[in-house]
Amino acid sequence: MKTTSFLPALLLLPVLASAQQEFTLKGKIGELNTPAKIYLQYSVDGTQKLDSSALTNGSFSFKGDVANPVKGYIRVNYNPAIPKGYTQYDLLSVYLEKGTIIVNSKDSLQHAVVKGPQLNKDNQQLEADLKSVNTKQRALTDNYYSQSTEKRKDSVAAAAFKTSYEELGDERKKVLRTFIDKHPKSLVALDALRSWAGYAFDPEQAEAVFNTLDASVRNSVDGVKYLERIQRVKATQIGQIAPDFIQNDTTGNPVKLTSFRGKYLLIDFWASWCGPCRAENPAVVKAYHEYKDKNFTILGVSLDQPGAKDKWLKAIADDKLAWTQVSDLAFWKNAVAQQYAINAIPQNFLLDPSGKIIAKNLRGEELSKKLAEVIH
């Protein structure tokens, strides 16, 4: 009996092993040598993976396996004195999929050519389609930030930059939508859809485009996850009752969202490590003190990292955030953030006393203006 029950388990081992997709990523970037180094970064189930390889006369190699094809990025650190964060332009996207992916360039990743299985061919096509708008966006950004701080603060110049950047954003969306329509059977089209929709998207529009993809893409692991995200965004649209949750505060006591019923409430997603969040906090503090005695309060939900409670508490104190704060210290896997489909911060949701969402992503003075409009 023991032998009979053990054999099926043994027979399953090759099947499970074959489910992994082994990849080799190699190539040559000019004639670079140590101390220059090349890095590969990608995400598996929300966990960031980082690998590195030495460069010998420009040559490098990575090997690994993934359960499903995944989009990753490679970058070169030319000088160890330069921080390991991404440089602005010398970054190349590749798809880690079964087989060999080859990257070659005479000088830098910016001019690299990628050869490999079908997803990488599709990705190269998308990069080629986006090249014109990317070039214009870089030129616009470089020109703007090359100006003096005083010139950038000029309201006319800032407005002109914003208008031009938004126009290029619309151009980018057209390119992405065309690619999606032409490649409905490619997982690259799903990534193009994510980019087309953006982080704060209209779920009805995103779902309509999602439904134009081939069933093989819609039913893929990433396709199913994205549809789930669309459904979560639907549940947090203006007019919906905000989904309830419970999470612990700074002292470990559970806080329930519905316990705030009867007041206007801002659910504010942020983190101590998030620069834009910290820059936004003064406006949130200002609005809080203006309306805290007028049936309004705030509930902060922090995406701080495991083991970083001290940084979370310090940021609360430093920024003078006098309202209730909760977190499970799970970074991007924060349970409330996942429930509310948060993949970029800062984000916020304004609820009326019944718990209905009446506004989203209020920035700067917009928060105070909205509160003045609804609180009498």
Using a pLDDT cut of 90, give the percent of the chain over it.
77
Q: Is residue 93 part of a domain?
A: yes
Does the pLDDT at position 16 exceed 80? no
Q: Is residue 9 in a domain?
A: no
Tens digit of each residue's pLDDT (9 = 90 or more) over 204-219: 999 999 999 999 999 9
Do 70 and 143 share a domain, yes or no? no
Q: Which domain holds residue 366?
A: 246-374
Residues 356 and 253 in one domain: yes
pLDDT single digits (tens) 41-96: 998 877 889 999 999 999 999 999 999 999 999 998 887 665 554 444 578 999 99
The verdict on residue 148 lying in a domain is: yes
Do 288 and 324 belong to one domain? Answer: yes
Provide the pLDDT for residue 86: 41
Does residue 223 sit in the same domain as residue 166?
yes
- pLDDT for 14 beyond 60: no
Closest CA to 17 of 64, 63, 67: 67
Q: Which residues of the chain form beta strands (DSSP E)?
A: 21-29, 37-44, 47-54, 59-66, 70-77, 91-96, 99-105, 113-115, 246-248, 254-256, 264-270, 296-302, 324-326, 347-351, 357-360
CATH number, domain with residue 364 = 3.40.30.10
Q: Which of 101-110, 144-153, 303-312 has the highest mean pLDDT?
A: 303-312
Amino acid 89: pLDDT: 56
Domains contained in the chain, number: 3
Residue 182 covered by a domain: yes
Tell me the CATH number at 22.
2.60.40.1120
If 0-12 CB within 10 Å is exposed, 13-18 middle and 19+ buried, where does residue 209 land?
middle
329-335 mean pLDDT: 95
Q: Are residues 189 and 309 in the same domain?
A: no
CB neighbour class for 2 (10 Å; exposed up to 12, middle 13-18, buried from 19): exposed
58 and 83 fall within a common domain: yes
Domain edge (last residue) among 99, 116, 133: 116
Q: Which two tokens stand for residue 24?
A: 């080799």
Q: What is the pLDDT of residue 8?
A: 39
Residues 105, 134: one domain?
Answer: no
Residue 57 inside a domain? The answer is yes
Residues 270 and 366 grouped into a single domain: yes
Across 78-95, b (16+ Cβ under 10 Å) vs e yields beeeeeeeeeeebebbbb
Residues 228 and 174 in one domain: yes
Average pLDDT value for residue range 170-194: 97
Q: What is the CA radius of gyration of the chain?
A: 24
